[in-house]
Amino acid sequence: MTHILPSGGGKALINVDDTALLLLDHQAGLLQTVKDITVAELRANVIALARIATLLKIPVITTASVPEGPNGPLMPEIAEHAPHAVYVPRHGQVNAWDNEAYVEAVRATGKKTLIMAGVWTSVCVMFPALDAKAAGFNVYAVMDASGDPTEFVSRTTLARFIQGGIVPTSTNATISSCTARGRGRKRRRSPTSTPWPPRTTGQSWRATTTQSASVRRRSRRPDAAAAHRRCRRRTEPPAATQKVRKAS
């Protein structure tokens, strides 16, 4: 697995090459019922997920339940920031996993890790998350890109996720985990570049640091002397004034 480093780092993190992002029912009407997080923060987190998915070329699947009804249309920002997203409409199914077209779209990605977020967390995310887990997928639930009507509902949902083997996470942790696979890569250096300060074989870093510090001190001395001379010129009276003082 290419996302795992020789040290073993990354093994427990998200492998973006095997991940799909599922955004469920972020609809205008449902967003107005969210009380466990501010709607502005929730929308910002959804946008962040859409943008990172586009940047990392992660498949995105969106869905909405009866968007022409009171639930309202999906957030337009999702399509704006993830133009490659695939939209699967639902006609009355509360659980997106009950919709055959939706499940087929998820399986068509070929990914086994699913990052889910939606409104409500306790229904629109939990139901398909549990079914996807039972179907053999690894499932992450992004809690702050989802929302519930009350704090109590959110807490019970979190407990149910943990009980069912769903990994609860945050937007920041998700983005960090997805982008962390690049850590540990050595920065490419120009063939003509040399490290500074240069070191000879067997020379310690402390020795070269001390040496470079002494070089810097010596290089500052001429500048300091010049500054001192300029200061004297500004403070000393003109030569004509000095002659008058001597004559008096």
Give the pLDDT of residue 194: 44
Contact yes or no for 132/114 (Cβ under 8 A): yes
Give the pLDDT of residue 238: 59
Known catalytic residue: 124? Answer: yes
Q: Which is catalytic among the residues 82, 124, 143, 145?
A: 124
pLDDT, tens digit only, all 248 positions of the chain: 456 777 777 788 999 999 999 999 999 999 999 999 999 999 999 999 999 999 999 999 999 998 999 999 999 999 999 999 999 999 889 999 999 999 999 999 999 999 999 999 999 999 999 999 999 999 999 999 999 999 999 999 999 999 999 999 999 999 999 988 644 444 344 444 444 444 444 554 455 445 555 545 555 555 555 665 666 665 556 555 555 555 55
Give the pLDDT of residue 138: 97
User: Given the structure tokens 């002659």, which residue do they identify?
Assistant: 243
| Sign, CA torsion 77/21/29/74 | positive
Give the pLDDT of residue 223: 58
Give the pLDDT of residue 7: 77
Give the pLDDT of residue 187: 39
CATH code for the structural domain at 16-182? 3.40.50.850
Give the pLDDT of residue 182: 46
Q: What is the pTM of this model?
A: 0.72
Instruction: Supply the DSSP string of 102-171, one letter for each residue.
Output: HHHHHHHTT-SEEEEEEB-IIIIIHHHHHHHHHTT-EEEEEGGGSB-SSHHHHHHHHHHHHHHT-EEE-H
